[in-house]
Amino acid sequence: GAVVSQHPSRVICKSGTSVKIECRSLDFQATTMFWYRQFPKQSLMLMATSNEGSKATYEQGVEKDKFLINHASLTLSTLTVTSAHPEDSSFYICSATEIAGAGELFFGEGSRLTVL
């Protein structure tokens, strides 16, 4: 099946710094990627829809200035958590679907962010 890769898988940063997480579709092109975050023992919460070459669409309650999303190519989307705080500590997951695929979304391995 299609492969989606995230990097880094784990990151620890100090409060106030910014962290960038990359999401790559390794063997297919994806015009749309999705970013989720997941707190312990909770389900995945959709943060935003990332569209190649245009601005991301954010879900209600998600601060677009805090969670910067860039989708500069058909194989790469990035999520930057700006001025991170301990409450931003979470598991961030991206997903993508093939342009000409059957509709299934493929997920990355996730990136665990810990803000000290």
Partner 1 sequence: DAKTTQPPSMDCAEGRAANLPCNHSTISGNEYVYWYRQIHSQGPQYIIHGLKNNETNEMASLIITEDRKSSTLILPHATLRDTAVYYCIVREPWGAQKLVFGQGTRLTINP
Which positions lie near partner 1, rule CB under 8 A?
1, 4, 6, 30-32, 34, 36, 43-46, 49, 51, 91, 93, 95, 97-99, 101-110, 112
Residue 69 or residue 110: which is nearer to partner 1 going by CB?
110
Q: From the CB of 112, what's the least distance to partner 1, in Å?
A: 7
Residue 67 or residue 106: which is nearer to partner 1 going by CB?
106
Residue 110 or residue 115: which is nearer to partner 1 going by CB?
110
Kind and range of the H or E element at 25?
strand 19-25
Report the 10 Å Cβ neighbour count for 46. 13
Residue 43 or residue 61: which is nearer to partner 1 going by CB?
43
Q: From the CB of 14, what's the least distance to partner 1, in Å?
A: 23
* Exposed e or buried b per residue across 98-114, where buried means at least 16 C-beta atoms within 10 angstroms of its C-beta: beeeeeeebebebbbbe
Q: 88 phi and psi, to 5 degrees?
A: -85, -10
> Using CA atoms, how far apart are residues 90 and 106, in angstroms rounded to an integer?
20
